[in-house]
Structure 1
Amino acid sequence: MNIGLLLDPYGEKSPGGLGRAIFEMARALQAADSKNTYIVYTKKTMGVTSLFLQGARKMDRNLDLYIFFNPIVPLFLFPKRAIMVVHDFAYLELPGRSLLQKINRAALYCAHALSLRKATKIIAVSHTAKESTIRHFGTNPDKINVVYNGFISLDGAPEPMPAPDNFFLFAGVLKERKNVAGIIRAFALFAKTNSSHELLIVGKQGGVYADSLATLARELGVESRIRFLGYVSDGQLAYLYNKAQALVFVSFIEGFGMPVLEAMHAGLPVITSNSGALAEVAGDAALLADPAVPQTIASAMSRIASDASLCAALKEKGLRRAKQFSWDENARQFIEVMSAL
């Protein structure tokens, strides 16, 4: 078959977590499948700013199958067969704060609804993502297969960087749904009875929410113990994973939660959310906390800071858990879905 791969929103310039996951998924699929021919499309290679509005006129309309790694089919493209990959629909879980935001979200919902109806098959990266698709769009459950992501292994040489002796780590995009403010509030509670730890926050800075985090740290009196590191390289992140006491990743909403597995693979204990995809991916290999209740996150921090045997057990469980997820297995299951069409 001739198969088109649409890698939106993967971009060549420092892609974020979702973009990198999409790239790894497409790379593994092509490496595992020698029977089919793949044609890769990105916004850059097509010279477009919007795949939805402009993609149809730039694509071969006669391919046997299209795989959309973001579930939006270009307008006026009517594929004979199409697979949509669903990650999450976070914008439907969080309220819009402005009229423009609400209009944009309504337009995105319409694009997703139309695209999902065109799909021959839908691949969800977790059972949480599958349930979200059914709940928001009324999709037939039989149309959706769950195929877990792998994770991006940071196996290169760690790049040393300044870091304190004892610290908790957050790594991810500084957005409201990542609950970074909740982590800061939890750390402030933890810091009342612990003076030896700091909190390092890794993630691209800028934007109203990101800017508000430093203000929150000042208001809570912990600004001297929280470091906003901004973007770091993979080597630097690997170094921080090796040095940290635990990763704290307690998002309100995730479709998968790759940092959890990255940290586990590095032997780092994890504190994560007690519901949704994060709890699904972590299994019994992490401490779980309620993302809406900072005290539960603070309690988990205290347990990590005071119990070396717990940390050792979490490290062992995490290493085993991470081995259950791989891009090779993702590709194998993906090919099974394609072969059954």
Structure 2
Amino acid sequence: MPYLTAPVVYVFCLKQGGQKNGLFYYGFDLLDELSKRGSKVVLFSTKDYFLQGKKEGLVPDVKFVKLPRISNRAMKWILLSIYCFKIMGKRGGREYIFSSEDLPALLCAWLGRGPIGVVVHDLGEFYVRRYGLMKDFFRRTWIKKLLSKVNYVVCVSSRTKADVERVSPGQKNILTILNSPCRIDGSGKSVKLLYVSGFDYPSKGHSSFISKYANFLKENSIEVHFVGNCGNFKMLGELRALCQSLGVADLISFHVNVTNSFIDLMYRSVDAFVFPSHYEGFGRPLIEAARYGLPIFSNDVGVFRDLQESGYHNIFPLDELECAYGSYAT
């Protein structure tokens, strides 16, 4: 059967954090796509920006149901699983979509609720070390089971589509939604570089970028600003020590757990954007940097290829950073 075509579609966004993430972009894309297809959408979420989007007319014909934020992680998943299961007991003319690979989605799919779809934005556990040996193994196990149990998968980039096909070759119903192509041309003088990403995982590539480009930064007096949330201050300390040992501590700044307005200011005040992450399924900062018209130097992760194909011509492989420097420098 064709999916994303039911008269009523329930969308469960169970992420509890208040910060904007990739969901801020592909979530609106998904809601917009459903509205275009004529479905009535009921959105269950803690995210206030969806409610604001409804007020501003960005997501037409969407009923917003605000979910409570629950600080205790175990209690959160227990209560949300029960809540979703009860909601999904309403049969007839409905589809259910989970905005991420969460445990309640697996539980409801396993127990035969449906039809159920899941949005896949990041399968990093299958490629890089993320949370630790046991947790990564646990997540890989449940995600593989989830992808095999749901009726369909919605991918947010060509990269995630390829990942799903590799991880779950038996899943034949794979849809791709990315309705926000960037068509902004821009150039700048590359004296300040920006990287927006969390500091919690080695796979984000901070240390490899510092090690590889330390001499380049020193020779050209280029500033680098690392901006992102941090729950792993041990790793942050190791990054600072690495900067000291390589003699770039005066050139590299760390801005930790900052506000969205500060991030906006940083995007407006730098000259180019770098993205050395080793794996991303989506890569929200790539979308943001393109919307600010910044030259982007990135590894081939997330929506890198999608941006190139959408007509954004100011995006380049990270390995071209040093060669391209002369094009932007004074």
Coarse TM-score class (shorter-chain normalised): 0.7 to 0.9
Q: Residue 173 of structure 2 aligns to which amino acid in structure 1?
A: K
Aligned to 1:201: 226
d(CA) in 1 for partners of 2:181 and 2:36? 17
When normalised by structure 1's length, the TM-score is: 0.71
- Which of 113, 118, 129 is equivalent to 1:79? 113
Q: Could you say if the C-alpha distance between residues 96 and 20 of structure 1 is closer, same or farther in structure 2, counting changes exceeding 3 Å? A: closer
Q: Specify every segment of 5 or more residues in structure 2 that has no aligned partner in the other structure, as ranges.
A: 1-6, 47-65, 183-189
**CA displacement at 1:137 relative to structure 2:** 2.5
Let me know the Cα RMSD of the aligned residues: 3.1
Displacement, 1:221?
A: 0.9
Cα contact 2:9–2:97 (8 A) shared by 1: yes
Runs of 5+ consecutive residues of structure 1 not aligned to the other structure = 153-164, 290-295, 312-341
Q: Contact 1:242–1:267 at 8 Å: present in 2 too?
A: no
The CA distance in 1 between the partners of 2:229 and 2:322, in whole Å, is 24
Between the aligned partners of 1:240 and 1:46, the Cα distance in structure 2 is: 29
Q: Which amino acid aligns with 2:250?
A: S
Deviations 1:129-176 (A, max 9, x none): 111112123233x31112126389xxxxxxxxxxxx931111111232
Give the 5 Å matches for 1:222-261.
222-261=248-287
Paired with 1:276 and 1:80, the residues of 2 have a C-alpha distance of 32
User: Is residue 2:180 matched to residue 1:150?
Assistant: yes
Alignment of 1:1-341 (within 5 A): 1-9=7-15, 11=16, 13-21=17-25, 23-25=27-29, 28=32, 35-41=39-45, 44-45=67-68, 49=73, 53-59=78-84, 60=87, 61-63=89-91, 64-72=94-102, 73-75=105-107, 77-95=111-129, 101-140=132-171, 142-148=172-178, 150=180, 166-174=191-199, 175-195=201-221, 197-207=222-232, 208-273=234-299, 275-283=300-308, 284-289=313-318, 296=319, 300-301=321-322, 303-304=324-325, 306-308=326-328
Change in CA separation of 1:37 and 1:270 when aligned onto 2, cut-off 3 Å: closer
Q: Which whole-Å CA distance do the structure 1 matches of 2:97 and 2:235 have between them? A: 34
What is the TM-score normalised by the length of structure 2?
0.74
Distance 1:171 1:149, change over 3 A: farther
Q: CA deviation digits over 1:276-300, x for unaligned, max 9?
A: 43431342531213xxxxxx3xx51
SS in 2 for 1:150: coil
Q: For the residues of structure 2 that align with 1:259 and 1:119, how far apart are their CA atoms?
A: 29
Q: Is the 8 A contact 1:126 1:277 kept in 2?
A: yes
Structure 2 CA distance for partners of 1:71 and 1:170, relative to 1, 3 Å:
same
d(CA) in 2 for partners of 1:17 and 1:46?
A: 17
Deviation, 1:14, is: 2.7
- Write the distance in 1 (CA, Å) between the matches of 2:277 and 2:142: 26
